[in-house]
Amino acid sequence: MNDKTFALLEFEIIRARVAERALSEEASGLITGDVPRTDPDGVASLKAVVSELTALIGSVTGEPRTSIPSIGFLLPKLAVDGAVLELDEAYALGLFVDRAEEVRLWLTGKKTDSGGEGESGGRTAPLSRPELSPVLAELAAELPDCRPVSREVFRVLTRDGDLRDLPEFREIRKRIHNLNRDLDALGSRYTGREEYRRMLQSGLPSQRDGRMVLAVKANFRGRIKGIVHEVSSSGQTLFIEPEDVVEKNNEILIEQRRLDAEILKVLREMTAVIARERDSLAVLHEKLLNLETLRARARYSHETRGVFAAGDGRMDSPLVLKQARHPLLGIKAVPIDLSMPGGVRTVIITGPNTGGKTVTLKTVGLFALMNQFGLALPAEEGTKLPVFDGVYADIGDEQSISQSLSTFSAHMTNIASITDQATADSLVLLDELGSGTDPEEGSAIAMAILDYLIEKQVRILTTTHHGILKNYGYTREGVENASVEFDGKTLSPTYRIAMGIPGESRALDIAARNGLRPDITAKARSYLDEERSDISALISGLKYKHRELDDVLEAGKAEEKRLREERRQADLKELRLRQKELDLKNNSMGTVNRFLSESRKTLENLVREIKEGELTREKTLKVKEFLAGLEESAAAQAAELEAQQEQLRKDRKELETPGDGGQNQIPAIAPGMEVLAGEFKRRGTVLRQDKKGTWIVEIGSLKMGFPEGDLIPVQPREEEKKVSVASLDLADTAQAQFEISLRGMRLEEALRALQRQIDAAALSGLYEFSVVHGKGDGILQKGVHDFLRRQPMVADYYFSRPELGGFGRTEVVLKRG
C-alpha cells in the first residue's frame, strides 16, 4: 500500500474525518500519519477494541468530550534540573491529567461525585451501564494514576488557570494594594485641585513603564517638578512623574519584584514535585493519545452507523459486501451487493459506462482499507472481508503531460509496478483494463496480465469493455463474470451488480440517448449486426430473467413483511385483551374484598351489641336493615360487574375486527401507489386512471398503460426521513467569527457581544472560537470567564497557548448536538 493508492481510493479523506473526531491535536496528528494494518491478528485486535468503544458510546451517556491539551513538548522540560514551568504550561499538565482521569472513569463505569474537589479530588460512584468488558478494563488499567500532579497544579492554580491567593503572596499583595491606594491619593492631589487641573491635558493619571505619570501641558513644564518620561509627537504634552510620586512608584516596584520572586519560588517548588512524576506522565501521555486515536475511530463508526466486517483474515475466506454504500457519496450512494467466495479469486465486471463499475471498484478498495484501519463500514450485517497485505489500484485517467506519457503508457507503468509488488495476500483493482490502445492488442495484454496475477493467486477485481474478456471469464477456473445492469426501456443503468453474467456496453443506446443522430446510430447497428453472434441476445435474455427473478423475490419479501405485520398485530390484540381482562378481574376482586371487609366489621358490631344486652325490637330491626343493605350492595355489585362484562365484550369485538384500518386487506389501485406492472413485473408508480379497468403507470422515465389485473400493489420503498426545519430569520443575527475581540469594550458591552457570538456560532455549527480580551487589570478577563462558566451551551474554555496570546486570549468550546 502506498500514498498513491490512498489518494485513488480517497482513503485520505476518510482518515482526515476520523482525525477530526479526536479531542487532542497530538492524537489527531497520530491518526493522520497512521496507515491500515496488514497482519490479521493486529486487525482483529484493533477492531475488537474499537467495536467495544463504539458499543459503549452508543449505550452509555456521559462520554467526556472536553478537549485534551498538548503536553508532549513539556515532558523534556521536566527532565531539566531547575526548570520552572510557566503558569499556562502547568495549567495544561493539570488539565491533561484531569482529562485522562475523566476518560478512565468513563471506561470503568464510574463518575466523579459532585461533592468532590473536581476531576482529581472527588469520590467516585458507579454509573448505570452494562458490565465492564475485559477489553475496556485493560484499556483503563493501562492509564497510570497521575492525580498527584493535578492536585499539586491546582493547589497553586485555580480551575480557571489563575494563580491562587496563597499565604506566601497575601502580605506582599496587601502592601502593594495599600501602596497603590496611597499612589492614587497622590495622583488625586494633582487632578483634584483647580490650580493643577488647568496645567493637565487629562483629568486622569497615565501609566508609563508601569509608573504613574501626569499629562502636563508643555507651557506649564516648570510648574510641576519631576521626571519627564515621554513627550507627545506634537510636543504639546509632557508625561511627568512628580517628585513626591517617584518614591511611591519605587516602593511599588520593589514590592512587585518581591511578589514575582515569591511566585517564581512557588512555581519552582511545584515544578520539582511534578518532575518526580515525569515517567508516569510520559506513560500516561502515550497511553491516552493511543486511546484517543481509538476513541476517534469509535466515534466515527458510531456516527456513520456502520457495521464491523466479519472474517478470520485468511485469504481463502470470502469477500462479501451487502448493501455497501460508498461513504463519500452520502445519500447519492447506491447500495452494492458483491460476493467473491473463497474459490473465486478474480471478478471481471462489464457493462455500460456510467453504470457504477468504477464506483464498485473504489468501494471495495476503500472498504478494505477502512476495515484494516479499524473502522465500521456503511453496509449491512453479513459483510465479510479478508485482511490484505496490500491494496493496489489502477483507476482513472493516468495521462501525464509532464512525463510525456500517454494514457495507455501511464496505465502500463502503474500496472507494471503492481505486478511486481502484489502477492497472494493482495487485492488488485484494475479499471478499464486494456483500454487506451488497439482493442485486439489491448485485450491480449489484459488477458496476459490477468494470467500472471491469477498464477500468483492475487485477489483481483477488474472492469473492461472488451468482449473477449467476457469469454475469458468462462474459460478460467476461479474467475467469475459480473455486470452492472442496464434498463433497456429507460436506457439508463440500475447500478445493480449481477454476479455470474457478463454485461453489454450498450454504447449505441447510450449514444442515441445523448443526442447522436438516428441515421448514424442506425448505420452503426447495421455494421454491428453483420458480425454479431447470438451471445448478446443470450446475455440480454439472462439479464431480463435475473431482473424478473429479483422482482419476484422483492414481491415475496414484501408479502412476508406484510404477513409478519399481521401476525404482530394479532399478538398485540391478544395481549391487550388479556391485559384488560386481568385489570377487570383485579378491580372486581378489590371491590369485593373491600365490601366483605366492611360488611364483616358491621356484622361483628351488631353481634357484640346483641351479646352485651337483652334482645330488643330495635336490635332486631338493625339486623334486618343490615341484611337488606347487604342484599342491595350485592345487587349493585352484580349490576356493575355485568356492565363491565358488557364493555369487555364490546372491546373484544372491536379488537377482533379484522383489518385495523385496512391493513390486512388488499388495497385498491389508486394514484400514487407503487406497483409491479406487466409481464416482467417492473416497479412503477400509478399516475392516473386511463379508462375503465386501465391505469397509466410511470416506470423510470416512461409512462405506459396497463390493465388493472396486471398491477400488483407493493410496499413503498423506505426513504430517509426528512427533517423539517423551521426557517430562521437570520437578518438580525450576528455572523459567527473564528475570533472575536472584546478589547476596549466595557464589561457589559463585551458580554453582550460574547452572547451574540455564542448564539451565532451555535446556529452556524461553529463549535470552537477564540475570545481576545487582553490582560490589563483582569476585569474583562474575569468577567468573560464568569460569563462562560454560567452558559449552558459552553462545554469548555481555557487560555490560549503562549504563542497565540496566553492569558489575553480564551479558547471557547461549545457543546455539540
Q: What digits encode the pLDDT tens for the residues 434-478? A: 776 767 777 888 888 888 899 999 999 998 877 667 777 676 788
- Nearest residue to 85 (alpha-carbon basis) of 100, 94, 74, 76: 74
Alpha helices in 192-235 (DSSP H): 194-197
Domain boundary among 635, 653, 684: 635
**Domain co-membership, 367 together with 463:** yes
pLDDT tops 80 at residue 585: no
Q: Is residue 720 part of a domain?
A: no
354 labeled part of a ligand binding site: yes
Higher pLDDT, 204 or 58: 58
353 labeled part of a ligand binding site: yes
434 labeled part of a ligand binding site: no
**Domain co-membership, 250 together with 290:** no
Q: Is residue 261 part of a domain?
A: no
The model carries a pTM of 0.58
**Domain co-membership, 451 together with 598:** no
Q: Is residue 544 part of a domain?
A: no
Specify the pLDDT at position 224: 76
> Under 8 Å CB-to-CB from 698, ≥6 apart: which residues?
684, 685, 687
CB atoms within 10 A of CB 682: 20
Q: Is residue 655 part of a domain?
A: no
- Nearest residue to 740 (alpha-carbon basis) of 763, 766, 773, 785: 773
Would you say how long the chain is, in residues? 817
**Domain co-membership, 374 together with 522:** yes
Specify the pLDDT at position 295: 95
Return the CATH number at 806.
3.30.1370.110
Pull the grid cell for residue 734.
450576528
CB of 364 closer than 8 Å to CB of 342: no
Q: How confident is the model at residue 125 (pLDDT cuts 50, 70, 90)?
A: very low
Pull the grid cell for residue 665.
386487506
Structure confidence by residue, pLDDT tens digits, 683-730: 888 888 887 788 888 887 678 888 887 788 876 654 433 333 333 333
**Domain co-membership, 444 together with 332:** yes
CB of 8 closer than 8 Å to CB of 396: yes
Side by side, which strands form the sheet with 702-707? 702-707, 694-699, 682-691, 674-677, 711-713
Q: Is residue 460 part of a domain?
A: yes
Domain that holds residue 709: 674-713
Structure confidence by residue, pLDDT tens digits, 726-750: 333 333 345 788 889 988 888 889 9
**Domain co-membership, 39 together with 172:** no
**Domain co-membership, 679 together with 774:** no
pLDDT tops 60 at residue 783: yes
d(CA 596, CA 585): 16
514 labeled part of a ligand binding site: no
- Nearest residue to 236 (alpha-carbon basis) of 252, 251, 219: 219
- Nearest residue to 14 (alpha-carbon basis) of 37, 27, 32: 32
Pull the grid cell for residue 386.
479478508
**Domain co-membership, 240 together with 283:** no
CB of 18 closer than 8 Å to CB of 61: no
Specify the pLDDT at position 67: 93
358 labeled part of a ligand binding site: yes
Return the CATH number at 191.
1.10.1420.10
**Domain co-membership, 119 together with 240:** no
Q: Is residue 563 part of a domain?
A: yes
- Nearest residue to 69 (alpha-carbon basis) of 797, 808, 782, 737: 797
> Under 8 Å CB-to-CB from 394, ≥6 apart: which residues?
411, 414, 415, 418, 429, 430, 431
d(CA 245, CA 183): 7
d(CA 37, CA 389): 8
Helix H or strand E segment including 698: strand 694-699
How many structural domains are present in the chain? Answer: 6
Q: Is residue 271 part of a domain?
A: no
Specify the pLDDT at position 610: 65
**Domain co-membership, 336 together with 448:** yes
352 labeled part of a ligand binding site: yes
